[in-house]
Structure 1
Amino acid sequence: GRTKAPFSGNWNPKRRCHAILGFLFLLWVCFIYLPDPFASPPEEDPVTLLIWTHPFGEYRELPDCWELYQIDGCTLTDDERAYPEADAVIIHHREIATLNVDLPPEPRPHAQKWIWLNYESPSHTPRLWLFEGIFNLTMSYRTDSDIFLPYGYLVPRERALTGTRSRFTHPLRGPAHSDFRRPRLVAWVVSNWSESHARVSLFHKLRRFVHVDVFGRVGRSLPKGSDSVVQLLRRYLFYLALENSLHTDYITEKLWNAVLAGAVPVVLGPPRKSYERFLPPEAFIHVDDFTTVQDLARYLLMLRSKPALMRRHLDWRGRYSVHRPVFWGEHFCTACKAVRKSKDRTDVVKDLTLWFHS
Structure 2
Amino acid sequence: MFSDFFINIRWKLFTLQACAGISSMLIMIGAHVWHDYIFSEPNTPNNITETLAHELELLVANVTFQSSISVPILMWWDGFSSTTGLKTCQTSQCLFVDAQKFWRHPQTAGIFFYGSNFKRDRGLPLPRKADVDWALLHEESPKNEMIFNHGGWIQYFNHTATFRQKSDWPLTYQHAPSLALIESRSYWLDFEIKEQLQKDELLADIAYVQSNCDNPMERDDFVQELMKHVAVDSYGTCLHNKDLPNDIRSPEKLGDSEFLRLLSKYKFVLSIENAACPDYVTEKLWTPLVVGSIPIYLGATNVHEFLPTHKSAILIQDFRSMSDLVDYIRTISTHKQLYYSHLAHKTKSVTNGKLVHALQKPVGNLVEEFECLVCRRVHQRMSIANMGFKPEIFKANANHYGCLYPKTALEILNHETNDGSRRSFWQDKYFQSEIEARVLAQYMDRNSNFSLSEYQEVVLRLLKDDKP
Give the alignment's TM-score, normalised by structure 1: 0.64
Structure 1 position 77, deviation (Å)? 4.5
Q: Which runs of 5+ in 1 are unaligned?
A: 1-44, 158-169
Determine helix, strand or coil for the equivalent of 2:235. Answer: strand
Say yes or no: does 1:79 pair with 2:98. yes
Task: Report the equivalent of 1:52.
Answer: 77
Determine helix, strand or coil for the equivalent of 1:115. Answer: strand
Task: Report the equivalent of 1:255.
Answer: 285
Distance in 2, matches of 1:49 and 1:221, equals 48
Task: Report the equivalent of 1:275.
Answer: 303
Higher strand share: 1
Q: Deviations over 1:257-313 (max 9, x none)?
A: 222332211111243xx1111112111110123333233223323333222222222
Distance 1:217 1:339, change over 3 A: same
Distance in 1, matches of 2:95 and 2:341, equals 45
Q: Deviations over 1:313-340 (max 9, x none)?
A: 2221464689699x9x832133134335
Say yes or no: does 1:313 pair with 2:342. yes
Show the 5 A alignment for 1:96-175. Answer: 96=118, 98-104=119-125, 106-108=127-129, 111-122=131-142, 124-128=144-148, 131=153, 133-150=155-172, 151-153=174-176, 156-157=179-180, 170=181, 172-174=183-185
Determine helix, strand or coil for the equivalent of 2:212. Answer: coil
For the 8 Å contact 1:48–1:77, the answer to whether it is kept is: yes
The sequence identity of aligned pairs, in percent, is 22
Distance 1:132 1:266, change over 3 A: closer
Task: Report the equivalent of 1:243.
Answer: 273
Q: Which runs of 5+ in 2 are unaligned?
A: 1-69, 198-202, 351-355, 382-391, 406-468
RMSD between aligned residues: 4.2
Of 84, 87, 90, 2:112 maps to 90
Distance 1:289 1:127, change over 3 A: closer
For the 8 Å contact 2:141–2:275, the answer to whether it is kept is: yes
Distance 1:46 1:291, change over 3 A: farther
Distance 1:221 1:350, change over 3 A: same
Distance in 1, matches of 2:394 and 2:92, equals 23
Distance in 1, matches of 2:293 and 2:91, equals 37
For the 8 Å contact 1:174–1:314, the answer to whether it is kept is: no
Task: Report the equivalent of 2:393.
Answer: 346
Of 203, 207, 211, 2:223 maps to 203
Q: Deviations over 1:145-169 (max 9, x none)?
A: 2221114346555xxxxxxxxxxxx
When structure 1 is superposed on structure 2, of 348-357 and 222-231 the one drifting more is 348-357
Task: Report the equivalent of 1:19.
Answer: none
Distance in 1, matches of 2:267 and 2:312, equals 13
Distance in 1, matches of 2:97 and 2:349, equals 40
For the 8 Å contact 2:207–2:266, the answer to whether it is kept is: yes
Task: Report the equivalent of 2:332.
Answer: 303
Distance 1:254 1:196, change over 3 A: closer
Distance in 1, matches of 2:297 and 2:178, equals 21
The aligned amino acid for 1:312 is: S
Distance in 1, matches of 2:231 and 2:82, equals 40
Structure 1 position 242, deviation (Å)? 0.7
For CA contacts below 8 A with separation 6 or more, give which structure has more relative contact order: 1
Show the 5 A alignment for 1:218-237. Answer: 218=238, 219=240, 220=242, 223-224=249-250, 226-228=252-254, 230-231=259-260, 232-237=262-267
When structure 1 is superposed on structure 2, of 295-304 and 314-323 the one drifting more is 314-323
Task: Report the equivalent of 1:23.
Answer: none
Structure 1 position 225, deviation (Å)? 5.3
The aligned amino acid for 2:276 is: L
Distance 1:227 1:264, change over 3 A: farther
For the 8 Å contact 1:74–1:333, the answer to whether it is kept is: no
Distance in 1, matches of 2:315 and 2:124, equals 41
Determine helix, strand or coil for the equivalent of 1:90. Answer: strand
Task: Report the equivalent of 1:42.
Answer: none
Give the alignment's TM-score, normalised by structure 2: 0.51
Distance in 2, matches of 1:195 and 1:89, equals 30
Q: Deviations over 1:181-218 (max 9, x none)?
A: 33342111222325984523321221122111112223
Distance in 2, matches of 1:196 and 1:174, equals 34
The aligned amino acid for 1:301 is: R
Q: Deviations over 1:41-68 (max 9, x none)?
A: xxxx99875333355xxx7789xx99xx
Q: Deviations over 1:14-69 (max 9, x none)?
A: xxxxxxxxxxxxxxxxxxxxxxxxxxxxxxx99875333355xxx7789xx99xxx
The aligned amino acid for 2:268 is: F
Larger Rg over CA atoms: 2
Determine helix, strand or coil for the equivalent of 2:296. Answer: strand
The aligned amino acid for 2:250 is: K
